[in-house]
Chains A and B, each alone.
Chain A
Amino acid sequence: MLTDLTIAGALAGLAARDFSATELTTAHLDAIAALNPQLNAFITVTPELALAQAAAADEARAKGHAGPLAGIPIAIKDLFCTKDVRTTAASHILDHFIPPYDSTVTAQLRAAGAVTLGKANLDEFAMGSSNMSSAYGPVENPWHRQGQATRLVPGGSSGGSAAVVAARLALGATGTDTGGSIRQPASFTGTVGMKPTYGRCSRYGIIAFASSLDQAGPMARTVEDCALMLAAMAGFDPRDSTSAERPVPDFAAACRHSVKGMRIGIPTEYAAPGMPAAITDIWQRGQNWLREQGAEIVEVSLPHTKYGVPTYYIVATAECSSNLARYDGVRFGERVEGEDLIDLYERTRAAGFGAEVKRRILLGTYVLSAGYYDAYYLRAQQVRQLILRDFTEVFSKVDALLTPTAPSAAFAIGEMMDDPVTMYLNDIFTVPASLAGVPAMSVPAGLDHQGLPLGLQVIGKHFDESSVFAVAAALERAAGFTATPSLMAGAKP
């Protein structure tokens, strides 16, 4: 089936004229029509736009100037501004927001010839690890526990993107990752997700959550496909003040590099107490796979790991309280009328934001407020420095790190909702790399005893995505992960 292809495979088929971009796009639109009502993975589907882009890709190919992703159908996380296509951030406050411009990442993907099928669901303003906080309702994970009908979460915040890729509704999707929002959903859905180095992809036109952490990245079904997407997404952009002015390496070539002689660090602090045996087991297998391919496995220490999540929830909420101040019901977004201007602001924001977003804005406001700034925000920034220092020291000894991606497999919709801290602990293995700004990638490594996918995380040095791709590809080769979810295009009900 066309929907089962990888991006690399589809590009080869398009080049050989085995099928057209229009046929490939139609196959995915049909799959979306069949499965999205259940999965709720798209907030907005744009079939007419997609078919027009596919026709343009076919024409470009016929004329011999097809872009590197010409005719490849992808989904865009609904946090990326898309010109003339509604962009909601999964928040009611942006229910009717139609951006007059494109984010740099989506513009670059379109310039490369990619076909955009629609806007993928997410946690509201990318704040969450389950997709439960979306104002457009939860996304269902296409995977189920063996023999059970319980609906599971796809992780978050890029849960819609992950579900779309897993269920074969698109060949790839964009995600954003602030504390694990690409990697944890990739782990929960048996897909591959890469958070590049902070600064690698432009943040211009991505609705901001925490600007010192937000980073866009690709999600797909293979490591190579992520490399192909990232090549189109990355690069210097003068419109983002923290965009890195560096050349973009050949990531796809990096996937073919051997790991022979590489030193891979195993941080002892990532062996969290109470971690399921299946995860400890898959982590051990990952080490063996790399050793068998000639890598040297080295035990290392990142002593401040356990302070990652508390640091993150101060830094990220402080930045979000500032970034989300712009939603005031005046220049764009929804408005609730009030008695005076202040009342208008307060009613607009009370009605427009969901519970998790409000909680984070309030927490961020508190840690930045007079009398608490030093105790919370300044101290968190100092601990962030120590976390970065941990990575800098470790990377003087090893080329990359191998860890589990998440402390559990996908959980059920409605679980872990008792208190916010329980949910936040989902990010314990992903947050430190975000705070340090280093690249990290989740690759599916196997299934747990209930048949749910588990991912392994590879963390690399700043701007050394190439090593991360090499190690992830080595894991992928050894894992031979071919399991598929119960809900996917073409699967028998």
Chain B
Amino acid sequence: MMSLDPATVRRIAKLARIRVEDAELPKLQADLAAILGYVEQLGEIDVTGIEPLSGAAQMALRMRADIVTDGGQTEAILANAPGREGDFFTVPKVVE
């Protein structure tokens, strides 16, 4: 497993879409390295042939009828929008 250098922290922050200032990097790097160091102990367990467990539900996911059950909620959906024009969310210009 790779050590966590500042470039890696930057790359993760980019993937996570969180702006990180240079001054924040050393503390983040140290904290993440400490947690990764701690979870390394999972490497000592033999997991050969063990089926991964993705959830705690003791059931298979239910199927439901493919029908419309809700809708027509434009105002409720837009009520908390930070930027809105008419019935649309607004964002900075994406296409030049």
Binding site for B on A (CB under 8 A): 96-98, 100-101, 198-199, 212-213, 238, 241-242, 244-245, 304, 306-307, 310-311, 313-314, 321, 325, 328-335, 337-347, 349-350, 353, 358-359, 361-363, 365-366, 369, 372, 375-376, 378-386, 388, 419-421, 424, 434-437, 462-463
CB distance from B14 to the nearest CB of A (A): 8
Main DSSP-derived SS at the B contact region: loop
List the A residue with the shortest CB-CB distance to B47.
Answer: A382
Contact B92 A383 (CB under 8 A): no
From 53 to 95 in chain B, residues with beta carbon under 8 angstroms from any chain A beta carbon are: 53-59, 61-62, 64, 73, 76-77, 79-83, 89, 91-94
A-contact 0/1 string along B21-60, CB 8 Å cutoff: 0000000100110111011011101010011111111110
Q: Is B7 an interface residue (CB 8 A)?
A: no
With the chains together, A304 CA to B50 CA distance in Å? Answer: 14
Q: 29 A-B Cβ contacts within 8 A? A: A100-B80, A238-B64, A241-B61, A244-B59, A245-B62, A307-B41, A310-B39, A313-B38, A330-B81, A330-B83, A332-B82, A340-B94, A341-B91, A343-B19, A343-B92, A349-B16, A349-B17, A350-B20, A359-B31, A359-B32, A361-B16, A362-B32, A363-B32, A365-B15, A376-B39, A379-B42, A381-B52, A420-B34, A424-B35
Contact among A307, A331, A382 for B81, CB-based, below 8 A = A331
Contact A385 B55 (CB under 8 A): no
For B89, what are the chain A residues with a Cβ–Cβ distance below 8 Å?
A: 330-331
CB distance from B31 to the nearest CB of A (A): 6
Given the interface contacts A244-B57, A310-B41, A381-B54, does A101 sit within 8 Å of B76 by beta carbon? Answer: yes
With the chains together, A341 CA to B26 CA distance in Å? Answer: 27
CB distance from A273 to the nearest CB of B (A): 15
Contact A199 B59 (CB under 8 A): yes
Q: How many residues of B contact A (CB 8 A)?
A: 50
Contact among A321, A347, A463 for B16, CB-based, below 8 A = A321
Contact B35 A421 (CB under 8 A): yes
Contact among A101, A386, A434 for B45, CB-based, below 8 A = A386
- What is the total of A-B residue contacts with beta carbons within 8 Å? 178
With the chains together, A346 CA to B14 CA distance in Å? Answer: 8
For B42, what are the chain A residues with a Cβ–Cβ distance below 8 Å?
A: 307, 310-311, 314, 379-380, 383
Given the interface contacts A362-B32, A382-B47, does A335 sit within 8 Å of B83 by beta carbon? Answer: yes
List 4 A-B pairs, minimum CB-CB distance, nearest first: A437-B56, A381-B52, A332-B80, A335-B82
Contact A341 B32 (CB under 8 A): no
With the chains together, A349 CA to B13 CA distance in Å? Answer: 11
Given the interface contacts A97-B80, A359-B32, A365-B16, does A344 sit within 8 Å of B47 by beta carbon? Answer: no
With the chains together, A378 CA to B42 CA distance in Å? Answer: 11
Given the interface contacts A349-B19, A379-B42, A386-B45, does A362 sit within 8 Å of B80 by beta carbon? Answer: no
For B52, what are the chain A residues with a Cβ–Cβ distance below 8 Å?
A: 378, 381-382, 384-385
Contact B34 A329 (CB under 8 A): no
Given the interface contacts A244-B57, A363-B35, does A330 sit within 8 Å of B82 by beta carbon? Answer: yes
Given A304-B45, A310-B39, A310-B42, output 13 extra A-B contacts at Cβ < 8 Å: A199-B58, A245-B59, A245-B62, A341-B92, A343-B19, A345-B17, A350-B19, A362-B9, A362-B13, A380-B39, A386-B50, A421-B35, A421-B38
